[in-house]
Amino acid sequence: MKDSSKILYKVFLAAILIQLLIFWEVAEPNCSPYQLPQLDADQISPVQYLSKASSDLAKNQQAFIPDSYVAPMLNQWLNMVLPITLRTGLDLGAGYDQWEGLATMRAEYFLPVKAWSDKSIFVSPRLNLTRSEETFSFSAGVRHLVTSDALVGFYAFHDWKRSRRLQEDFLKQAGMGFELSLLPGRHSDLSLRINAYLPVNQRRLISHNRNHFIEESLPTGADASLSLLLPAFTESLDFRLTAQGNSFRGASTNMLGYRYGVQASMRNGVILASAEKGYERFAGDYFRIDGTLNLTFDWMALLAGQNPFSAPYQTSSVRYDRKLSDALYQRIVRRHDLPMGRQEKPLALAAVVAGETVVFHGSFPQLPNSRVTIQISQSPWKDCGEIITDGKGIYHGRLVLAPGKYRIRLLHKASGTTSEDQAVLVGPDRD
């Protein structure tokens, strides 16, 4: 118990000193810091809220690199302070964004809560602060070494994501994953990982002009990867098959990609070649062939009139199996920081004129079973009645108006939400 208290105290002390190092290490920018306007997050649309880093003029005025990293100094200090058992599972990077005037950080820690010789229970918290977003993640899982040649693992995770500048509600995402490692025999090696991602909530906003309904959520999707080292057919050449695929879909997200290929390598390190075919949504289909040739050069052999080129190292007649027990304490592999899906819907109003009757319909998706006011304008706006939306926010009705030109809109007075204006011409001369 005392050892745990000491470790927690050191971690707490490290977190405080990290922030001190960030602000102490970075030089002051050449211009005064950018003062952001004080705006109410509920009254603005994030798309129309631009930070200083979004301005090309601001970038041209500053010649320095926006991100200053202090990771080398930070990691050196942590190596001296933290015990090796605690430092092994920590992945940490930190910096300072001089355009935004914000500290950036990425920290992930893999902690085996309970470990046996053939199984482990682990947790893995993660924090990622960029210039625009903050993301928190927490994963937990179990791995079991079924036999010396088979390992299975299951884990679940939960993510929270939001903008750093706008203190809005977090978008949430949950998921689960499965991993399998096998040594089927003849020194072959198989690894398989599958992850599924599901959004937990949806954020609904009204644009700053009150004319658009905004829905934001994280995407739904899955990814998988497969790696297979084929059995040893020869004493000098190894072949590995690889395949990866992912699909993520959301309100404005459509990420689809895959790739598969084969790698060939000589055990003496002379030749490494690969062929890969794949597809990415923005790049399209592609096919790639890569190869490298590695040789050592001996000047003495050249001067002696002999062949100066040779293999980097001796060919081994034995291909050693990896230890699956080491995989009990490896970080899980999955996608982090998925893009946010965003969809804007106009609060539309449609109107049809028949004689002196105006038939209208539309919807307020965020206002089900609500009372809204019908307004007409020949200058200024004036109330002309009320109507109740249904369970989906849909409304419809009719008005009888004297001949003339009008503008019609619907208003929810409690929230200030309005539909788009619709111009109509009533009377026999409207054609």
Q: What domains does the chain contain, in order, with CATH numbers?
A: 347-426 (2.60.40.10)
CA distance 320 to 131: 45
Structure tokens at 227: 């790696």
Least confident of 69-83, 110-124, 300-314: 69-83
pLDDT number for residue 17: 55
CA distance 389 to 368: 6
> What integer is the mean pLDDT of 114-121?
90
Cα angle 302, 305, 311 (rounded to 5 degrees) comes to 50
CA distance 298 to 241: 35
- Max Cα–Cα distance, the chain, nearest Å: 110
Strand-pairing partners, residue 387, are 372
Structure tokens at 106: 């990425």
Q: Does the structure show a pLDDT above 50 at 35?
A: no
Least confident of 53-57, 416-420, 426-430: 53-57
Is residue 290 a contact partner of residue 273, using CB atoms and an 8 Å limit?
A: yes
> What integer is the mean pLDDT of 285-307?
90
Structure tokens at 331: 């970080």
428 contact partners, CB below 8 Å, separation of at least 6 = 355, 403
Confidence label for 355 from pLDDT (cuts 50, 70 and 90): confident
349-363 in b/e burial notation, b at 16+ Cβ within 10 A? bebebeeeebebebb
pLDDT number for residue 63: 39
Q: Does the structure show a pLDDT above 50 at 163?
A: yes
Enclosing H/E stretch for 62: none
Confidence label for 154 from pLDDT (cuts 50, 70 and 90): very high
Least confident of 211-215, 244-248, 382-386: 211-215
> What integer is the mean pLDDT of 51-60?
40
CA distance 301 to 307: 6
CA distance 128 to 141: 21
> What integer is the mean pLDDT of 29-40?
37
Q: What is the pTM of this model?
A: 0.66
Alpha-carbon torsion 344, 59, 136, 333, what sign? positive
User: pLDDT: is 328 or 58 the higher one?
Assistant: 328
Q: Does the structure show a pLDDT above 90 at 143?
A: yes
> What integer is the mean pLDDT of 164-184?
90
- Could you tell me how many helices (H) and strands (E) the chain has, helices first? 5, 27
User: pLDDT: is 82 or 161 the higher one?
Assistant: 161
Confidence label for 73 from pLDDT (cuts 50, 70 and 90): low
Listed as own residue / partner, the contacts of 308-316 with beta carbons closer than 8 Å and 24 or more positions apart are 311/266, 311/268, 311/269, 311/270, 312/268, 312/269, 312/270, 313/268, 313/269, 314/268, 315/235, 315/236, 315/266, 315/267, 315/268, 316/267
Question: Beta strands of 267-380 (E only): which ranges?
Answer: 271-280, 284-293, 296-297, 309-310, 341-346, 349-354, 357-363, 371-377
pLDDT tens by residue, 211-226: 667 788 899 999 999 9
Which stretch, 207-216, 327-336, 400-409, has highest mean pLDDT? 327-336
